[in-house]
Amino acid sequence: MNERLLTVEDLRVSFDTYAGEVQAVRGVSFHLDRGETLAIVGESGSGKSVTVQTVMALNPMPPARIKSGSIVYKGRELVGLSDREMDAYRGKEFAMIFQDPMTSLNPTMKVGRQIAEGILMHEDISRQEAQERALNMLRMVGLPNPELNMVRFPHTYSGGMRQRIMIAIALACNPSILIADEPTTALDVTIQAQILELMNGLKAELGTGIILITHDLGVVARMADRIAVMYGGQIVECGSADEIFYDPLHPYTWGLLGSMPSTGVRREGKKLIAIPGTPPDLFAPPPGCAFAARCPHCMKICTQTPPEQSVTESGHYASCWLLDKRAPQVEPPEFDIRKEGGRDE
Amino acid sequence: MSDLPLIQVRELKKYFYPKKGQVLKAVDNVSFDIPRGTTLGLVGESGCGKTTVGRTILRLYERDSGSVLFDGIDVHGVSRREYKALTRRMQMIFQDPYASLDPRFTVGDIVAEGIDNHGLCATRAERTEKIYRLLEMVGLNREHASRFPHEFSGGQRQRVGIARALAVDPEFIVCDEAISALDVSIQAQVINLLMELQGELGLTYLFIAHDLSMVRHISDRTAVMYLGQVVEHAETDELFTNPLHPYTKGLLAAVPRADPRWERSRERRLMTGEVPSPINPQPGCRFCARCPLATDECRHEDPELREAAPGHFVACRHV
Ligand SMILES: Nc1ncnc2c1ncn2[C@@H]1O[C@H](COP(=O)(O)OP(=O)(O)OP(=O)(O)O)[C@@H](O)[C@H]1O
Ligand SMILES: Nc1ncnc2c1ncn2[C@@H]1O[C@H](COP(=O)(O)OP(=O)(O)OP(=O)(O)O)[C@@H](O)[C@H]1O
Ligand code: SF4
Ligand SMILES: [Mg+2]
Ligand SMILES: [Mg+2]
């Protein structure tokens, strides 16, 4: 049943800039199965976008450089493939939707044609057939009046409609992996709900594997089967959605979950709980745990040696010295969600 | 200090004319006050005119009609010189962190733009010190000052925009999706910072966002827009606990919760239908195509914004 689509192993990506080497991704490993949604959350600037753009081979090199690691898609190694060779995968096997659909749509080309061109690039079918497929895609993403909408220009659509067109383009070649980087950040929650429903439908019907990057933990709770938490260029914790929300292991995850404003209460001097301090300098990442400088539980060893990965029986893992047998017992803080989650069961 | 609201917006209209014979009513008859030292939250569908409201208040767009008073000063009526003085007191944090930062300048120079324009720092050292302090305030570090915007992630760029707005010590800030690209911990940090500045210096904010829980946290009053118009406007707690307009109700019901079990068990009622185009809008309530309560009357006559409960305004004839 669990058909492995993608395995990323110890991926390291740097940018060579005037000021020096920015170590944006520092040893990231994860996998994605058919018909599952992996959410990637974490610190802004922690390397989420760079990671998935590397999988898509979208980072211009230079300045970007894959220092090491492997990306295996259905048994085939992708690292080292030429741009030409990658073209066979991009758009066909993997497709990506971005936060801002307008920057990725061609403003001077009618929508139907844009979808059809995308199909023609990858498949040897007639223009007529491609047009028909495009029409079908628009129908599938729930755009009303698809015949009429085929001949409109992107700027005449609202944000929600554009995002659906992006999804239609992304799905036109029936990719096995859909990568969505902040796909609904620019939309109101009613349109967001429609888009998320659409993505879940695809997953169920076509078995698409989805990698979803978002800061909205509500969206994550709604969509994710598994969650990877990134900090400072690394995945610091990874587990099922329930494990991450109800039983998080890493102090950064604790901090993240604790920062949310609790639903149903309002300010009156109420401060949100932010994680104090600033993220690590990726020019010179710390030798030990990347989170050490901001971690309330930091021990001496944390600043010296990178923590090893501790894995539970179910496969939930985290990299933190607190999980070492010799470390003192630390109770995770109480979160609102846990109480709510417990109650609803 | 007077009791006069710092910001008074009256019957503001801003239209665009995309093509001959087309009028796009981006902001159509919007009125509200923002008292000094308070925050007005502004929410609504993508494309409903929130950014245009913010930009027109600051006169980054010329209005078509209506007025904006800032501290009693007619923003759209003053001379160029007087306007320049005003730009120091009013700032905007722009929505698009990609487009709003000039790629040719270092982050330090971008942050210092207002400082330089208004001659706020006497010496080079003072300027550098101020840049560092601002970067740290928004959770970046000083090494970032010498780097260029394209080397930054979305959230990092957004913080540069926040530091730039704070640099001139403004009294009023339009925060346009100022935190949407940030992770929740940094969101919390920025929200705390904005609220602290408000407590200490009495800053006034127009806070535009899609994230309703943050709006709820930071706003004293909240206004909901739909296709160029304010459809509901109330004290924040009142709006969130007792929403009246069918659009507001749909909006609040669709908010996802950071709780997987709750999300799996929740009953989903999706609001259907598309947001109609703001180009050449038909008369009648602009929400009627998606509204479960719509009747023939709704389709023909504009509903008026009326006071349904003290301080709670709503534009719907069926509530
Ligand atoms: N072209 C570039 N040159 C130099 N550094 C870069 C470049 N692109 C990204 N970086 C750096 O790589 C790191 C990771 O960036 P990335 O865009 O992956 O972050 P992210 O996790 O997606 O953040 P966000 O949530 O803010 O989008 C950041 O510290 C960023 O400054
Ligand atoms: N400079 C412009 N020229 C023409 N039309 C414009 C311009 N700026 C905005 N519009 C149009 O005005 C309407 C309101 O846009 P605005 O950007 O204010 O919406 P918004 O509520 O901020 O949306 P979002 O949540 O997506 O940021 C939209 O239909 C938009 O297409
Ligand atoms: S390894 Fe140490 S510093 Fe890092 S998260 Fe764990 S306790 Fe904190
Ligand atoms: Mg990103
Ligand atoms: Mg906007």
Give the model's confidence band at A344: pLDDT under 50 very low, under 70 low, under 90 confident, else very high.
very low
Considering only the C-alpha atoms of chain A, give the largest distance between any 2 of them, rounded to a whole number of Å: 68
Whether B229 lines ligand 2, by a CB cut-off of 6 Å, is no
The rounded distance, in Å, linking the Cα atoms of A324 and B317 is: 63
**Chain A residues with CB-CB distance to B251 below 8 A:** 188-190
Identify which of A22, A42, A219 has the shortest CB distance to residue B183.
A42
Identify which of A188, A259, A283 has the shortest CB distance to residue B44.
A188
Q: Does residue B35 contact residue B198 with C-beta atoms inside 8 Å?
A: no
Q: Which atom of ligand 3 is nearest to the CA of A330?
A: 7
- In B122-181, the residues whose Cβ lies within 8 Å of chain A are 136, 139-141, 143, 146-147, 151-156, 177, 180-181
A345 pLDDT above the threshold of 50: no
Tell me if B294 is assigned to some domain: yes
What value does the mean pLDDT take over residues A339-345? 41
Tell me if B227 is assigned to some domain: yes
Instruction: Quick: pLDDT tens for A89-100.
Output: 887 888 888 776
Q: Could you tell me the distance, in angstroms and rounded to a whole number, from the CA of residue A45 to the centre of ligand 4?
A: 7
Tell me the pLDDT of chain A averaged across its residues.
84
Instruction: Quick: pLDDT tens for B87-126.
Output: 989 999 887 666 778 888 889 999 998 888 888 888 888 8
Confidence at residue A276, expressed as pLDDT on a 0 to 100 scale: 78
B154 pLDDT above the threshold of 80: no
pTM for the model: 0.86
Q: In the structure encoding, which two tokens stand for residue B266, read together?
A: 């929740």
The verdict on a CB contact (< 8 Å) between B257 and A218 is: yes
Tell me if B115 is assigned to some domain: no
Share of chain B above pLDDT 70, in %: 96
Share of chain A above pLDDT 70, in %: 90
The verdict on a CB contact (< 8 Å) between A190 and B271 is: yes
Give the model's confidence band at A313: pLDDT under 50 very low, under 70 low, under 90 confident, else very high.
confident
Instruction: Quick: pLDDT tens for B219-231.
Output: 999 999 998 899 9
Tell me if B128 is assigned to some domain: no
B148 pLDDT above the threshold of 50: yes
Instruction: Quick: pLDDT tens for B207-260.
Output: 999 888 889 989 999 999 998 899 999 999 999 999 999 999 988 888 888 888
**B230 has which bridge partners?**
B225
Tell me the pLDDT of chain B averaged across its residues.
87
CATH number, residue B22: 3.40.50.300
Chain A interface mutation, best of B96, B192, B259, highest count of A Cβ atoms under 10 Å: B259
How close does chain A come to B284, measured CA to CA in Å? Answer: 20
Q: In Å, what is the CA distance from B95 to each residue of B92, B188, B209, B211?
A: 9, 18, 9, 14
Note whether ipTM > 0.90 here. no
Closest ligand to the CA of A186: 2
Cβ < 5 A residues, ion ligand 4: A 49; B 154
Tell me if B36 is assigned to some domain: yes
What value does the mean pLDDT take over residues A12-21? 88
Tell me if B84 is assigned to some domain: yes
Give the model's confidence band at A268: pLDDT under 50 very low, under 70 low, under 90 confident, else very high.
low
Tell me if B182 is assigned to some domain: yes
The verdict on a CB contact (< 8 Å) between B254 and A193 is: yes
A248 pLDDT above the threshold of 50: yes
Query: From B45, which residue of chain A is nearest by alpha-carbon distance?
Result: A188
Q: Does residue B163 contact residue B149 with C-beta atoms inside 8 Å?
A: no
Query: Which residue in B117, B12, B103 sits closest to B58, CA to CA?
Result: B12
Q: In the structure encoding, which two tokens stand for residue A228, read together?
A: 């990877």
What value does the mean pLDDT take over residues A251-259? 90
What value does the mean pLDDT take over residues B197-201? 86
Atom 3 (ligand 3) nearest CA: A292
Q: How many helices and strands (H and E) does chain A possess?
A: 12, 12
Q: In the structure encoding, which two tokens stand for residue B284, read together?
A: 């009648």
Confidence at residue A27, expressed as pLDDT on a 0 to 100 scale: 92
For residue B185, the Cα-to-chain-centroid distance in whole angstroms is 21
Q: Does residue B109 contact residue B134 with C-beta atoms inside 8 Å?
A: no
What value does the mean pLDDT take over residues A144-149? 71
Give the model's confidence band at B297: pLDDT under 50 very low, under 70 low, under 90 confident, else very high.
confident
Atom 6 (ligand 3) nearest CA: A320
The single-letter DSSP state of residue A241 is H
More confident: B290 or B269: B290
Confidence at residue B275, expressed as pLDDT on a 0 to 100 scale: 64
Q: The domain containing residue B60 runs over which residues? A: 7-89+170-314
**Chain B residues with CB-CB distance to A156 below 8 A:** 277, 279
Instruction: Quick: pLDDT tens for B66-88.
Output: 999 999 999 999 998 899 889 98
Q: In the structure encoding, which two tokens stand for residue A171, read together?
A: 């799905």
Whether B30 lines ligand 2, by a CB cut-off of 6 Å, is no
Assess B46–A contact: CB distance below 8 Å, yes or no: yes
Tell me if B184 is assigned to some domain: yes
Work out how many domains chain B is built from and give that number.
1
Instruction: Quick: pLDDT tens for B172-191.
Output: 999 988 887 788 888 888 88
A264 pLDDT above the threshold of 70: no
